[in-house]
Amino acid sequence: MNFPDTNRRNETPLMVKGNIEDGRTNVHDEERFGRLSVITDDLIQAVETKIRENRRFTIATLSLEFPEVSRSVVYEIVTKDLNFKKLCYRWVARILTAEHEEKRFAISLDVLIRYEEEWDDMLSRNITGNETWVSHIIPESKQQSMELRHTSSPVKVKA
Angle at 133 between CA 131 and CA 136, to 5 degrees: 140
* Res 90 pLDDT > 60: no
CB 134, CB 94: distance < 8 Å: yes
Give the 3-state secondary structure of residue 144: helix
153 C-beta neighbours (distance < 10 Å), count:
13
Alpha helices of the chain — where are they, by DSSP H? 8-21, 41-53, 59-65, 71-76, 98-118, 120-125
CA dist., res. 124 & res. 17, Å (int): 96
CA distances from 59 to 23, 63, 84, 104 (A): 50, 6, 12, 42
Per DSSP, the three-state class of 149 is strand
The whole-angstrom separation of Cα 71 and Cα 54 is 18
Euclidean distance between CA atoms 22 and 134, whole angstroms: 74
Q: Give residue-wise pLDDT tens across range 92-124.
A: 556 667 888 888 889 889 888 888 888 777 777
Amino acid at 141: S
d(CA 66, CA 38): 12
Q: What is the average pLDDT value for the chain, to the nearest integer?
A: 74
Higher pLDDT, 91 or 49: 49
16 or 62: which carries more pLDDT confidence?
62
Question: If pLDDT is split at 50, 70 and 90, which confidence band does 134 have?
Answer: low
pLDDT at 7 over 60: no
